[in-house]
Amino acid sequence: MIVARDWRPLEKNTLRGFCTLVLSPSGLVLRECTLHVNADRRWIGLPSKPQLDADGKHRIDPSTGKKAYSPIVELMGKEERARFQRAAIDAVDKLLGGPP
């Protein structure tokens, strides 16, 4: 079971906001998860950290021109990721009273 809390809205491109996800029964707390919406697709982004260049500046991906990030938490396996996404989206919907 996943419970969402601490919603902080921020709209930019596909981003709709940040939240904390609490996973039961493990008690694992995932802070700074993101909710993204693109047309009819919604997904949860897990916490990540900026990739830094040799000068300590945020690295830009040369192929996309976007800031690069490294994952902090990952889910192994397609089925596991899909199951997590369904449960996390449901938890955020419950917190917000429905889809954003």
Q: Where are the domains of the chain?
A: 2-96
Q: How far is CA 23 from the centre of its chain?
A: 14
pTM of the model: 0.88
Q: Are 35 and 42 in contact (CB under 8 A)?
A: yes
CA-CA distance, 4 to 61, in Å (whole number)?
Answer: 31
Per-residue confidence band for 16, with pLDDT thresholds at 50, 70 and 90? very high
3-class SS shares of the chain: helix, strand, coil, % to 5: 20, 45, 35
Q: For 23-80, how does the pLDDT look when each residue is reduced to its tens digit (9 = 90+)? A: 999 999 999 999 999 988 999 999 999 999 999 999 999 999 999 999 999 999 999 9
Q: Which CATH number is 2-96 given?
A: 3.30.1120
What residues form DSSP beta bridges with 34? 18, 45
